[in-house]
């Protein structure tokens, strides 16, 4: 494994200079019996090479939809209506099923939210790990020893014996370790992790996050880490994008965004994070109001109905992503230099 790790790092150029994936103006619609939901609107985002990008936001903000669109696993009623997802000279947004299949399990792999249901319940762990290596022109015994090797990488005790075990015989934490081992086994350039710790309890959550960080550094792949847990994002990620109602409202380096959020929504998320509340309170704060109806996305700023700092301009004019310092951008008129000048 050491040589291939080396080639990964050798090919690496300074961060952001050449992103692994760059998404431009991506829009996704869902057709439902009760109308078309514009779930993603004009998303622009870059996944840097060899780094971890966090994707945060409330449930229903579109962060999982974005993650699934990057591996071509959107629901049947979803449709990419515009934009592009560029990766290594390809536009994934217009991939056909056959092209997707070539990419999945080779350059991109994914870890899912619920480890309890992500593994095939009627097949042993070993067979599942051998199956995903079906493209490799090596003997079965070799695939098997590779499987054991990766189960050891994710610090699963007694790895060899685990191959003959069925998923239901393992605990949730162990299953998620198996899923991580499978995802890394295919040596992907991009690993998508869709809330991989949400279904686990708090102590396991940190263990898995630390494990992911170690393995990411070891294998040098890029990670898209979807989460609504700010603590894990700050622990694991290099960069972060905040999503609200199907839009990216703020993005930048984790340190900058967490230290000085430029969008009122990001600020509100931090205010509601139980881990960041210093004073003892009886009630956990929440952001008042609900997500806008995405069948008819609002004209102006999507967050204005829930925003304490909204002013007249927010109603009429849809804010662009204003650039701040250090590459941080935010979709709020308060960041408009003209606004500050006035």
Partner 1 sequence: MTDATQSLLPEPGLLARSLHVLSGNRTGVIGFVLVALIVGSAIFAPWIVPYDPTAIMTGPRMAPPSAEHWLGTDNIGRDIFSRVIAGGRIAMLVAAASLTAALSAGLLLGLISGLGPRWLDNLLLLIFDALRSFPTIVFGLAVVTIIGPSLFTVMLVVAITSVPIYARIVRTQTLALKNAEFILAERAMGVGLPRLLFVHMLPNVLGPLLILASMDVPLVIATEAGLSFLGMGVRPPTPSWGVILNDGYNFIRNSPWPVIGGSIPIILITLGFTFMGEALRDIFDPKLRKAG
Partner 2 sequence: MIFYATQRLVLSVVIVMVAVSMLTLMLHVVPGDPAVMILGPRATPELIEQTRVAMGLDQPLLLQIVTFFGNILRGDLGQDVFTGRAVSQIVFEQLPYTLILITVSILWAAVLGIALGCYSALRRNTWLDTLTGVISVGTISIPAFVMALYSVLVFAVWLRWLPAIGAGEGFWDGVTHLILPSFAIGVSWVGYVARVVRASMLEVMGQPHVRMARAYGLPDAWITRSHILKIAVQPAVTLIGTGVAHLFSAAVFVEVIFARPGIGALIVQAVNERNYPIVLGAVLVTTGIIVLATLISDLVIAWLDPRQREEL
Which residues, in sequence order, are CB contacts of 79 under 8 Å at separation 6+? 28, 29, 30, 31
CA dist 184 and 190 (Å) reads 10
Residue 86: how many other CB atoms lie within 10 Å? 16
Under rule CB under 8 A, residue 168 binds partner 2: yes
**Interface pattern 125-164 for partner 2 (x via CB under 8 A):** ------xx-xx-----------------------------
Which residues, in sequence order, are CB contacts of 181 under 8 Å at separation 6+? 129, 147, 150, 151, 153, 154, 156
Residues 17-56 that bind partner 1 (CB under 8 A): 30, 32, 34, 37, 39
**Interface pattern 220-259 for partner 1 (x via CB under 8 A):** ----------------------------------------
Residue 18: how many other CB atoms lie within 10 Å? 13
Query: Is the CB of 73 or the CB of 206 nearer to partner 2?
Result: 73
Under rule CB under 8 A, residue 75 binds partner 1: yes
Query: Is the CB of 78 or the CB of 151 nearer to partner 1?
Result: 78
Q: Quick one: which of 92, 237, 294, 302 contacts partner 1 (CB under 8 A)?
A: 294
Q: C-alpha dihedral over 258, 264, 266, 269, to 10 degrees? A: 110
Segments of 6-135 assigned E as strands: 21-32, 35-47, 52-56, 78-87, 90-91, 108-111
Tokens of residue 156, six digits = 């699963």
| Residues binding partner 1: number (CB under 8 A) | 17
Under rule CB under 8 A, residue 171 binds partner 2: no
Query: Is the CB of 260 or the CB of 297 nearer to partner 1?
Result: 297
Stretch touching partner 2 by CB under 8 A, among 28-36, 113-121, 270-278, 299-307: 113-121
Stretch touching partner 1 by CB under 8 A, among 155-163, 176-184, 288-296, 312-320: 288-296
Query: Is the CB of 65 or the CB of 176 nearer to partner 1?
Result: 65
Secondary structure class of 34 (helix, strand, coil): coil
């Amino acid at each position: 494994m050491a040589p291939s790790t080396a080639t990964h790092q050798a090919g690496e150029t300074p961060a952001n200079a050449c992103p692994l994936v760059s998404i431009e103006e991506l829009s996704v619609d869902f057709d439902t019996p009760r109308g078309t939901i514009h779930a993603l609107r004009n998303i622009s985002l870059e996944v840097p090479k060899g780094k971890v990008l966090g994707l945060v936001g409330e449930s229903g903000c579109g962060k999982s939809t974005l993650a699934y669109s990057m591996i071509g696993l959107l629901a049947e009623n979803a449709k990419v209506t515009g934009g592009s997802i560029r990766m290594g000279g390809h536009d994934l947004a217009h991939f056909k099923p056959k092209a997707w299949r070539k990419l999945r399990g080779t350059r991109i792999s994914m870890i899912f939210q619920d480890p309890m249901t992500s593994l095939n319940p009627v097949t042993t762990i070993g067979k599942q790990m051998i199956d995903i290596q079906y493209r490799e022109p090596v003997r079965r015994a070799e695939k098997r020893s590779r499987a054991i090797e990766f189960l050891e990488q994710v610090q699963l005790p007694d790895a060899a014996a685990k191959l003959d075990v069925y998923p239901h015989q393992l605990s949730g934490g162990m299953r998620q370790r198996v899923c991580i081992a499978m995802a890394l086994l295919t040596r992907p350039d991009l690993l998508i992790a869709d809330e991989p710790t949400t279904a686990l309890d708090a102590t396991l959550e940190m263990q898995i996050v630390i494990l992911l960080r170690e393995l990411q550094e070891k294998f040098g792949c890029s990670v898209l880490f979807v989460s609504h847990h700010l603590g894990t994002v700050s622990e694991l990620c290099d960069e972060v994008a905040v999503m609200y109602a199907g839009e990216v409202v703020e993005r930048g380096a984790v340190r900058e965004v967490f230290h000085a959020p430029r969008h009122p929504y990001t600020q509100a998320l931090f205010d509601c994070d139980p881990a960041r509340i210093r004073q003892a309170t009886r009630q956990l704060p929440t952001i008042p109001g609900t997500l806008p109806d995405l069948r008819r996305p609002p004209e102006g700023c999507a967050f204005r109905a829930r925003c304490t700092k909204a002013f007249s301009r927010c109603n009429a004019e849809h804010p662009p992503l204003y650039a701040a310092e250090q590459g941080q951008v935010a979709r709020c008129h308060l960041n408009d230099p003209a606004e500050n000048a006035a």
